[in-house]
Amino acid sequence: MQVDEGIAILKENGHKYTDKRADILAYFIHAKGYRSAKALLAYMETSYAGISLDTIYRNLRLFEQLELLESREKNGEKLFKIACRSGTHHHHFICESCGLTKPLQKCPLPVYTEELADYHVNTHAFELYGLCPTCHNS
Amino acid sequence: MQVDEGIAILKENGHKYTDKRADILAYFIHAKGYRSAKALLAYMETSYAGISLDTIYRNLRLFEQLELLESREKNGEKLFKIACRSGTHHHHFICESCGLTKPLQKCPLPVYTEELADYHVNTHAFELYGLCPTCHNS
DNA sequence: CTATTCTATCGTAATCATTTCGATTTGTAA
DNA sequence: TTACAAATCGAAATGATTACGATAGAATAG
């Protein structure tokens, strides 16, 4: 995902380009892992002193709505990461040290077809956490 | 899990018996699924008019700490359910209509032994969401 | 049974993340 | 360049949760 792609998607949906939006996208593209609104705010304040909380949260909501960002909740706060726009369903391994996310090829859903024969499965959440080879060997 | 067991665990850890605590445990034992602090408050107010928020949240924290309750987060609020004290690792199917949780027998981790051969997996999160047979047929 | 001592609860205020709002600024299309 | 809708600001409001001083209550020893 490039910043330009994100901006293009914004415009296709009737939203405007702003430097702040480009920088927010760049922040998450570079991060490659989950980041909090607070972390984004801290980053943005280095370039835009006095940036409004409204701008941070409004754009996080917008980007998630446009599926440029994905989120999960932890310890009472929402965490965001750049979305995988591959189109195919997949899960992730997340490195607890460097935040790297590795897309996984297999989906564990078939494991439960028998066990949940009488149940209607709508969605599922699956994530693996640990250390990537680089962080494990250092 | 019985209310008595929960109370015993409370006492073993230096906490006191109160009717409110017994009722909170009974509420979650009967619920068999995730419930919010707000839902617990509404229930408790029917028996204890004017019960303090402090009492609700303090006991939820305590029970989670003692592993009598487990929690997850959704839409900015914490949801609690009675803990599975079986001791064995397992995952859950969660009914989005009635909140029922069905323990699953299989764990999907073995699916990824090949794909993550060079990675060090510490933990994983896995949950299935949908409708239980009862809710699906009504 | 009573006194003593912590713990629990109450009522309320504070905190934290997030959302909302009126006023102002800015992107962009004509 | 103008005009207008959208974006941002600064600040206040909201909702969930936590904290706090004062009071009430459970448990234990005498």
Residue B17's CB: how many other CB atoms inside 10 A? 11
Taking the CA of residue B122 and the nearest CA in chain A, the distance in Å comes to 5
- This prediction has a pTM of 0.88
Cβ within 8 Å, pair B112-A129: no
Looking at residue A111, its pLDDT comes to 92
Q: In this structure, is the CB of residue A17 within 7 Å of any atom belonging to strand D?
A: no
User: Nearest to residue A74, comparing CAs of B125, B42, B134, B67?
Assistant: B125
pLDDT at residue A46 is higher than 90: yes
Q: In chain A, what are the domains?
A: 3-82 (1.10.10.10), 91-136 (3.30.1490.190)
Strands B120-131 and B91-95: parallel
On chain A, the residues whose CB falls within 8 A of the CB of B124 are 126-129
- Residues with Cβ within 8 Å of A9's Cβ and at least 6 positions away in sequence, in order, are A66, A68
Residues of B with CB under 8 A from a CB of A: 73-74, 76, 78, 93, 96, 102, 104-106, 108, 111-112, 115-116, 118-133, 136
pLDDT tens sequence across B38-87: 999 999 999 999 999 999 999 999 999 999 999 999 999 999 999 988 77
CB-nearest to A120 from B111, B127, B136 is B136
> Which strand C bases fall within 7 angstroms of a protein CB?
7-13, 16-22, 26-29
Residue type (1 letter), B52: S
A9-39 residue pLDDT tens: 999 999 999 999 999 999 999 997 899 999 9
CA atoms within 13 A on the CB side of B93: 22
How far does B39 lie from chain A, in Å, by closest CA?
18
User: Is A13 near strand D, with its CB below 7 A from some atom of it?
Assistant: no
Q: How far is CA A43 from CA A39, A99, B112, B136, in A?
A: 6, 17, 35, 46
Please tell me the predicted confidence (pLDDT) of residue A32.
79
Name every chain A residue with its beta carbon within 8 A of the beta carbon of B123.
128-130
Q: Phi, psi at residue A98, to the nearest 5°? A: -105, -5
Inspect the interface and report whether the beta carbons of B125 and A126 lie closer than 8 Å: yes
> CA-CA distance, B95 to B113, in Å (whole number)?
29
